Amino acid sequence: FHLHYGDLTDASNLTRILQEVQPDEVYNLGAMSHVAVSFESPEYTADVDAMGTLRLLEAIRFLGLEKKTRFYQASTSELYGLVQEIPQKETTPFYPRSPYAVAKLYAYWITVNYRESYGIYACNGILFNHESPRR
């Protein structure tokens, strides 16, 4: 296991890293993740969280790593926003209520799109708070 650092706003940097490493797995855990700050910096939030995910997926596709590299997109319970039911299920509709949540929703759906369109092994994990009564 080796951690590689990259800038999600720099497609050429991400492509170079993936080309050099030829990874079996990519875990996209990077994000501008402060909900309140996303209202102050919505464009930056979209660039990092939404477009950063697209840049990683596109680098995998561009380099022909679709069959070799598995991609994990870390998502957020913020996708559900103003929740319609508790607890949420896979069928609970998304209702994002912040620029952060909207950017992560784009990342969620572009991951699905690249899986279905290009055959990339790409999956989403919707992460919730780590501490709760349901733990």
Which residues are part of the catalytic machinery? 76, 78, 100
Q: Give the 3-state secondary structure of residue 25.
A: strand
d(CA 123, CA 86): 24
d(CA 135, CA 117): 36
Cis amide leading into 87 (omega within 30): yes
What residue type is assigned to position 134 of the chain?
A: R
* Residue with token string 């990519």: 26
